[in-house]
Structure 1
Amino acid sequence: MKLLAFAASSSSKSINKQLAIYAASLVEGAEVEILDINDYEMPIFSQDREELLGQPELAQQFFAKLGEADGIIISFAEHNGSYTAAYKNLFDWTSRIDMKVFQNKPMVLLATSPGPGGAASVLAAASGSAPYFAADVKGSLSIPSFFDNFDMEQQTLRNPELKASLIAALAGLK
């Protein structure tokens, strides 16, 4: 199984990237590729820019990566209750190639934050809209208070209930 995992964050210190990497490591036998959305940075999307630029090569490459995967894990960072600007821009450009951005791939959607909300607002938005973009969402999970629930040294969830919930969500990818 080719598994693609990434954080919907451009932060070099992203806790969502740590969560995506950790989650991917729990999928036994998977060949994992970790993407960094910073590698797909493009001008801010607008119809005017699309008319001028067409479909940027980076958006095409990102779309191809999604298509090559057998499963996808995304962990969403939350900025002011919504997607990060970096992810939203990448998504907007990619959706212009094909509205079926996720190409019917099985997916697990995650989110975390340092606070007790666990980026639940952006996770709800992502989970609610994903089917419109051909995502086969097998599970979703918000991890609240990341630094209380994740052992940074061992790179593992220390909360047994959250770990069990994550494993259950990931089981849908097999």
Structure 2
Amino acid sequence: MKLLAFAATNSSQSINKALVTYAAQLIDVDVEVLDLNDYEMPIYSSDRENESGIPQLAKDLFEKIGNADALAISFAEHNGSYTAAFKNVFDWISRFERSLYQNKPMVLLAASPEPGGAKNVLAAAVASTPHFAGEVKASLSIANFYDNFDMENGELTDLAIKQELQKVMKSLKAE
């Protein structure tokens, strides 16, 4: 099984990238961790699309998704919603293919240093993913991230959260 994992943010210090990278290692599969910065494109507008077409980077990411057997995405929350970086990539891909997740089983995660745990963006992602041909197998929000994750060693320190995350990730292999 090939798992494509990424954080839905362009932050170089992303706790969501730390989380999804850690989570991907919890199951025995072939993992590719993407950096959304490698898919930076102009801000979507219909004028830009009409003038220049769809950027090759949008097509490249769509192909990466297609070549994976499953996806794990960890969402950063900006003002209660998706990051601008993720939304832009999402908008570009959905312009040429509404079924952008290509019927892949998915785990959706979110982390926040605050008590809310990025639950708003996670709820939005869980609700919208099926409309874009994604099969949400499980989701998990981790609040107070720095209290529960050792950034230096790249691992969860809270055993109960670790066990829940292992269960969430194993849902990708349960068929």
Q: Normalized against structure 2, the TM-score is what?
A: 0.97
Q: CA deviation at 1:153?
A: 2.9
What does 1:44-123 align with in structure 2 at a 5 Å threshold? 44-123=43-122
Q: CA deviation at 1:168?
A: 1.1
1:135 corresponds to which residue? 134
What does 1:147-162 align with in structure 2 at a 5 Å threshold? 147-162=146-161
What amino acid is the match of 1:64?
A: E
- Tell me the secondary structure at the aligned position of residue 129 of structure 2: helix
Q: CA deviation at 1:60?
A: 0.1
1:171 corresponds to which residue? 170
Q: CA deviation at 1:154?
A: 2.6
Post-superposition Cα deviations, 1:13-33, rounded to whole Å, max 9, x if no partner, equal 1000000100000011x1111
What amino acid is the match of 1:9?
A: T
> CA RMSD for the aligned pairs?
0.8
Residue 2 of structure 2 is aligned to residue 18 of structure 1: no
Counterpart CA distance in 1 for 2:14 and 2:131 is 27
Q: CA deviation at 1:100?
A: 0.4
Q: CA deviation at 1:53?
A: 1.4
Counterpart CA distance in 2 for 1:82 and 1:9 is 12
1:27 corresponds to which residue? 27
Counterpart CA distance in 2 for 1:141 and 1:147 is 16
Query: After TM superposition, what 4+ stretches of structure 1 lie above 6 angstroms from structure 2?
Result: none
63-72 or 164-173: bigger deviation: 164-173
Unaligned runs of 5+ in 2: none
Q: CA deviation at 1:151?
A: 1.7
What amino acid is the match of 2:97?
A: D
Post-superposition Cα deviations, 1:13-56, rounded to whole Å, max 9, x if no partner, equal 1000000100000011x111110111111111111111111111
Q: Normalized against structure 1, the TM-score is what?
A: 0.97
Report sequence identity in percent: 61
Q: CA deviation at 1:89?
A: 0.2
Counterpart CA distance in 1 for 2:7 and 2:98 is 21
Aligned length, in residue pairs: 173
Unaligned runs of 5+ in 1: none
Counterpart CA distance in 1 for 2:82 and 2:152 is 28
Counterpart CA distance in 1 for 2:34 and 2:93 is 15
